[in-house]
Structure 1
Amino acid sequence: MNTHGLSNRIRTTWESLSTSYWFIPLCMMLFSALLCGACLFLLQRTTLPDWLLTFIPLVTQEGAQQVLGTLASSIITVTSIAFSMTIVALTLASSQFGPRLIRTFMVDRGTQVVLGMLVSSFLFCLLALHYISAVQENQDAMSLLTALSVVLGVLNIGVIIYFIHHVAASIQADQVIYRCFRELCGDIETLLPAPSENSSLKPVAPALLKDGPFRHTLTADREGYVQTIDYEALATLRNDIVAGVEVIVRGGDHVFPRAPILVVHSHTEVNTSLLRALSASVIVGKNRTPIQDPEFALGQLVEIALRALSPGINDPATALTCLDRLTSACILMSERTFPAPSVINRDTNCWIKRRAFTMEGVIDRAFDQIRQDGKSHVAIALHILHCLYVLKQQLDPNYAALLARHANATYALAMTESVVEKDNAALDAALSRLV
């Protein structure tokens, strides 16, 4: 496996780990156990300097056990409260913003570190309490171990205060929308990287690519979502065997069992081992991820807007905020270079045809569903027209026709619901400014 393919698998694995509540707490628990073990190993073989004894009171074995027991029981109680608050926040997020937004909450580093700090502190106190009898003859060591536990207890007080504030802030609609937008901005550099002059992949017109006399269709061996595709590995095949590869799927697509994913054009018959290796270049998982899917984070903002426009919630203000963030995201993405649908490797002359993401698809993803679900809200239609006007001012003139189609569709759909002359006049003015 080449380094790029290994990098894709590492990114896929890290995506799974970073959206879990167990990885960072487990790492912090391991560090806490090692810290406690190091303290016990070193302190049994040394004594504290006199200047340090000024800040650390000497304690007896009974006093140390009482302090450690109190801290351990208090921390585990606070930990259970923190986990309960987390579950409540996830429940509120699922009902208010949609179940697919839970990922945005689970990837939050603040919550993961707080939970890790609490459980690792409890583990430290528990281990110290278990081994306290082994250092009872060294009062200095026993006192320092107790002091470290007290320091952890004080830190946990600050941590739980921060956590209460963090949870209260994180479930606010504006904060959730901003976090989705910030995540999208952070992914743009990876999703749409700037073209490199040293890259071996060169964009080419599809008409210039010649198919091989042999065709091998590779199918998915499992159902799921396409998480990553190793285009580098597909483009570095030997040209005397493989002419090129046609990639039928793209990141974010759902594939069914035995659905075609690749079509290999070759000059000769290709052995089974090579076909199996090519099939492994498309990683299919159970969840959709933003690794190679520019529309993933856009979809999260769209889902918040759709949930806000549902009759059960009826919160158009949240949908308006989502439209503002979606417009900003479209402007930022328009400044990037989208992948070419056809590329050829300069070194091997092996080509790739693929379903590439486009700016047109991004704009459609951002506005289509919100326009359809918000047809009964004149304010939504007016704001969509305003956002399209902003995009017309910022984007390349080549997108003017696309924006005009969105504007006409928004206007036509809103006019089927609007019967008030004032609203009709506002819609007419907004459309005339844009088209």
Structure 2
Amino acid sequence: MNDRTSYRRPRFLAPLREHLRDTLWFAPTLGLIGSVALWVGVSELDFALVRYLQDAGEFEVVADFTSITDELQTIVTTISSAMMTFIGVVFSISLVAVQMASGQLTPRVVRIFVRSRISKATLTVFLGTFLFSLLVLTSYESESDPKLVKSVPFVQSALTLFLVGVSLVLFIAYVSSTLRLMQVGPVADRIARESLREVLRQPTGGKDAVDIPAESARISYHGRPGVLRDVNVAWLVRVARRNGIVLRLIPRVGDYVVPGTPVLAVHGEAGRELKAVGLTASVGTERATSQDIGFGLRQLSDIALRALSPAVNDPTTAVQCLDRIVLLLSTMARLPLGTAYHRDAKGAVRLVQEVPGWTDLVDLGLAEIRGASIGSPQVTRRLMAALDDLMLLTSAERREPLLRHRELMAQAVARTVPEAAEREFALRPDRQGIG
């Protein structure tokens, strides 16, 4: 068996977790709910503290607490007003950063800002602090007699000050993180890291095909049209195991599907449980990294192509993208690609999934950049060095697409560069392009 068996078995909630990471509303909503729950608990603590002091006859302590309520109320009121200003600043920085990154790099990098943990944490804490401070203001009383006071929001006010301190620290981290994500290097690194995690997480096929039963039925997709983002692998494997069949995913993850498109092929005798199995396909407006091992190469190629356009003319950015493309391809070069076989706990194949092969991935990462790099010696030299490095890391049967790209590069340079010395210079391998 040549396919990988050491990958982490998919979990039922893994697709839901990935979808929630692609949203910006989930974390702030949880933060608001948590703020309300925190205020309820802390207000009960303040109420219990005052009642304990009154029962113990410590009316002077209660009076001391009551005497500073006016100052605390003023501070909390100022905090609630300031937090709205901070929230506006965060939104402004986010919108400007997203606009600049999508314009200079590619619109596909917007999802990096949406998935940024520091951005979500900052917005969540800011909104939570604002709501908490408003709730604390409702806890202040006008009663000054220590024997009649029911609650003094002393702990609530102290916690509000603590949340402000946390907000300031997160604001500094947020600005630093946002500035880094506006640079091509950190963005390319983030794309490469996410893609590497997905590549190493997914099972990949082997050279030897697995015998599966004959196809008996097909299940069509019924829903809104869009890009196939992922499927619930764990649930499909369980359904296939219960019915004693093998399911085959017909479209690739990343394909655009429309209602009526066959999504799954059933190999073996179909059962009743398969009526709603097509609902496990998640469709969105854009591709996602989850289960899509080629999307990282697509993003890096898009950034490099925009950098090589006449309007931008930034070959150094293209070289930085090529560095990460080589990283991804060098990792994929050691993996058996093609058809992925998802197995159940007993090792039986239950789900067959088509994934891009080695030639597809090489063409995705290099073809368009090669075509746009003619006339930029910095990029052609880096591309030739990349091909040399990949040739050393791949087996003999996988060198054909690399040799093809090398030959096409040489032919293109020969057609466009008349001087022999310039041709030799443009085709000389250099990992830094031109120093």
Q: Scaled by the length of structure 2, what TM-score is found?
A: 0.82
Contact 1:205 1:342 in 2 (8 A): no
Counterparts of 1:198-217 in structure 2, within 5 Å, are: 205=209, 209=212, 211=214, 215-217=216-218
Residue number in structure 2 paired with 1:74: 82
Q: Which amino acid aligns with 1:375?
A: I
| 235 and 384 in structure 1: CA distance in 2 versus 1, 3 angstrom threshold | farther
> What's the CA shift string for 1:138-184, capped at 9, x where partnerless?
59943333222223223323332332222222211111111111222
Deviation at 1:397, TM superposition (A): 2.8
Residue number in structure 1 paired with 2:194: 183
Counterpart among 127, 130, 144 of residue 119 in structure 1: 127
Residue number in structure 1 paired with 2:176: 165
**Which secondary structure does the structure 1 equivalent of 2:195 belong to?**
helix
| 65 and 331 in structure 1: CA distance in 2 versus 1, 3 angstrom threshold | same
- What CA distance in whole angstroms lies between the structure 1 residues aligned with 2:203 and 2:342? 16
Q: Which amino acid aligns with 2:177?
A: H
Residue number in structure 1 paired with 2:4: none
- What CA distance in whole angstroms lies between the structure 2 residues aligned with 1:413 and 1:237? 56
Counterparts of 1:27-426 in structure 2, within 5 Å, are: 27-47=30-50, 59-133=67-141, 137=146, 141-192=152-203, 205=209, 209=212, 211=214, 215-222=216-223, 223-229=225-231, 230=233, 232-233=237-238, 235-236=240-241, 238-239=243-244, 244-266=246-268, 270=270, 273-338=272-337, 340=339, 354-426=353-425
- What CA distance in whole angstroms lies between the structure 2 residues aligned with 1:61 and 1:363? 68
Q: Which amino acid aligns with 1:324?
A: D
Query: Comparing 377-386 with 74-83, which one deviates more in the overlay?
Result: 377-386
Deviation at 1:266, TM superposition (A): 4.4
Contact 1:228 1:251 in 2 (8 A): yes
Residue number in structure 2 paired with 1:198: none
> What's the CA shift string for 1:250-277, capped at 9, x where partnerless?
211111221222333446xx56x44423
Contact 1:234 1:281 in 2 (8 A): no
**Which secondary structure does the structure 1 equivalent of 2:141 belong to?**
helix
Residue number in structure 2 paired with 1:23: 26
Query: Comparing 63-72 with 154-163, which one deviates more in the overlay?
Result: 154-163
Contact 1:36 1:127 in 2 (8 A): yes
> What's the CA shift string for 1:358-402, capped at 9, x where partnerless?
222222211112112222323222211110101111222322222
| 429 and 123 in structure 1: CA distance in 2 versus 1, 3 angstrom threshold | closer
Question: Sequence identity, in percent?
Answer: 22
Deviation at 1:429, TM superposition (A): 4.9
Deviation at 1:318, TM superposition (A): 0.5
Q: Scaled by the length of structure 1, what TM-score is found?
A: 0.82
Residue number in structure 1 paired with 2:433: none
Contact 1:305 1:318 in 2 (8 A): yes
Unpaired stretches in structure 2, ≥5 consecutive residues: 1-8, 431-435
Residue number in structure 1 paired with 2:3: none
- What CA distance in whole angstroms lies between the structure 1 residues aligned with 2:36 and 2:177? 27
**Which secondary structure does the structure 2 equivalent of 1:149 belong to?**
helix
Q: Which amino acid aligns with 1:40?
A: S
For the aligned residue pairs, the C-alpha RMSD in angstroms reads 3.3
> What's the CA shift string for 1:284-327, capped at 9, x where partnerless?
33432222110112211111111211222221100100001110
- What CA distance in whole angstroms lies between the structure 1 residues aligned with 2:207 and 2:161? 62
Deviation at 1:122, TM superposition (A): 0.9
Residue number in structure 2 paired with 1:199: none
Deviation at 1:128, TM superposition (A): 0.3
Contact 1:382 1:430 in 2 (8 A): yes
| 422 and 122 in structure 1: CA distance in 2 versus 1, 3 angstrom threshold | same
**Which secondary structure does the structure 2 equivalent of 1:287 belong to?**
coil
- What CA distance in whole angstroms lies between the structure 2 residues aligned with 1:407 and 1:20? 42
Contact 1:342 1:351 in 2 (8 A): yes
Unpaired stretches in structure 1, ≥5 consecutive residues: 1-5, 196-201
Residue number in structure 2 paired with 1:3: none
| 7 and 247 in structure 1: CA distance in 2 versus 1, 3 angstrom threshold | closer
| Residues matched between the structures, number | 406
